[in-house]
Structure 1
Amino acid sequence: MLMAHPAVLEDLIAQYEAFTLLGAEESTPEARQRLADISYTLCVATGTRDVDMALIAARHRLSGARPEDDSLLQTAAPLQPSAPKEQVSGV
């Protein structure tokens, strides 16, 4: 899967948050369409089908992601540290 550049993700998140804060859902048809376009682009850029998951995935991919940003993402079990191996000395 292609990965969006972090700058693109940051811009999409900022646009989504701005349109949401301004109440684009209840605004003009143009604002609603722009919010829908941003939501769709976020989903495509993150490989998700839901804007909430897209926001979580996008924030997780940014440097400095906070632990709570990936709370809904499935992750593999953490690797367990391996026991130190005994060194064999040459005789």
Structure 2
Amino acid sequence: MLRPHPSLLRELVERCETLRQRAASSGSEKTKRQLEDASYTLCVVTGTRQLDTALYVARQHLADAMRREQPLHR
């Protein structure tokens, strides 16, 4: 199974969270469209269909990547 690079996931998660907050406070059409685009991209790279699920899966992948990069010391 192909997995997106952690830096891409991190960027998309941050973008979605930021845009979600902006959309909730300002509600501008531009922000809503940007959120839709970012959400769609995150859903595609995580193989999901809903933003909340995509965020969860992306965070799981990021946590897995961190565990692989930092082996336990004995």
TM tier relative to shorter chain: 0.7 to 0.9
With a CA cutoff of 8 Å and minimum separation of 6, indicate the structure with the bigger relative contact order: 2
User: Please, which runs of 5 or more residues in structure 1 have no aligned partner?
Assistant: 66-91
Aligned-pair identity in percent equals 41
TM-score normalized by the length of structure 2: 0.76
TM-aligned CA deviation for residue 17 of structure 1: 0.8
Max radius of gyration: which structure? 1
How many residue pairs get aligned? The number is 64
Partner of 1:61: 61
Partner of 1:30: 30
TM-score normalized by the length of structure 1: 0.63
User: Please, which runs of 5 or more residues in structure 2 have no aligned partner?
Assistant: 68-74
Runs of 4+ in 1 over 2 A off after TM superposition: none
Q: CA RMSD for the aligned pairs?
A: 1.7
